[in-house]
Chains A and B, each alone.
Chain A
Amino acid sequence: MADQENEKWLDELISQTINTTRPQFDAEKWKQKYPQEFQSLLSRARRRPAGSSARQPNIRAVFFHHRLTKLTAAAVILVAIGLVVTYLGPGKPVAPENGRIVGNSPSEMLSMMSLTIAYRRGGMEELERQCDKAVELLGPRLARISFREVLDDLNG
């Protein structure tokens, strides 16, 4: 409030200095002064076929301009992701077909492809089962084992 009071003298000085009478636009004078530009404006109306004056709304502009449409778009994207995960994801773990293990040797069982197939077939449970089977095939091992021995075992 005090600021506003203090600024009064300044407001008055600025207003007095700047010519504050509202300028009026004279369209007729402007058309006479800039005939080429005015004709250029009119020529666009002539180029447009009759009946096509209704402008197509810019869907992209309308879409991104309103907050509501942005939120709706985000919601639609989330629902779509949910549907994709539900139908194309691993889904509920299912019992493995005939309890078959993918791969013959432990190295094949633990390859990325075999693990992926196992996961698709039965989810985490099937994956765990396949890993257990691979470990079982390797048999009991000493607590201290060299890296070379691990590789030899894995390669059968």
Chain B
Amino acid sequence: MQEKPDLALVHAATDGDAESFTELCRRYYPAMVAIAHSVVGDRHLAEDAAQQAFARAAVKLPQLKNANRFAAWLAAICRNVAKDMVRTESKLHSDENLSMIAAQPQADDAAEIVRQAINRLSASSREVIFLRYYDGMSYEQISTVLGITEQAINGRLRRAKRKLADYLRRNGFAED
């Protein structure tokens, strides 16, 4: 069965059709989790952020001016929710006992270095990396979500990967 196009779902959801809205959520959940993960750096928090973004979108949907840009609009909401979460978390952590954090088991060293390399990227580059590797999204899908051209995504992805490769080589990773 052919999927209903996003535009029809967005219009129906704006008119209060819950089924259409949840279908949109289902379609964009992985992308929103990837975007939020690139900001908060934690999978569970990212899922919370994506769900919260859907909640905000459910209320604000009538304010959406161009239904064709629903995905990009949703991504902007998700980004803001994730940033708010980071601010809240950083406040909480500043009050926590630092020794508790230090006592947490350290992850695998190699993974930790890759994570550091990803964290050193700019927010926009990190976002593209997460979208591309989280769910194996195509350039076309990423383009819809970020509201930029496929060429721009290709350029952003290439630059990000070059930076990652440089950092990893400097830290003893060999390409074999």
Contacts and interface: CB of A to CB of B under 8 A. Distances in A.
B30 interface: yes
Contacts of A40: 58-59
A6 interface: yes
Given A44-B16, A46-B16, A10 B54 contact: no
Interface string A56-96: 00000100010000000000000000000000000000000
Contact of A14 (B68, B133, B175): B133
Contacts, number: 108
Given A30-B54, A37-B58, A6 B14 contact: no
B115 interface: yes
A42 interface: yes
B56 interface: yes
Interface size bracket, B side: 35 or more
A53 B15 CA distance: 7
Given A10-B175, A23-B33, A48 B16 contact: yes
Contacts of A27: 22, 25-26
Interface in B12-38: 12-18, 21-22, 25-26, 29-30, 33, 37
A22 interface: yes
A44 B15 contact: yes
Q: Please report whether the interface of chain B is mostly helix, strand, loop or mixed according to DSSP.
A: helix
A33 B58 CA distance: 13
B59 A37 contact: yes
Given A23-B29, A24-B29, A27-B26, A17 B111 contact: yes
21 contacts: A6-B175, A9-B176, A14-B164, A17-B115, A18-B134, A22-B30, A27-B22, A30-B51, A34-B52, A34-B54, A34-B58, A38-B58, A41-B13, A42-B16, A45-B17, A47-B16, A53-B15, A55-B14, A61-B66, A61-B67, A61-B68
Interface of A: 6-7, 9-11, 13-20, 22-25, 27, 30, 33-34, 37-38, 40-48, 53, 55, 61, 65
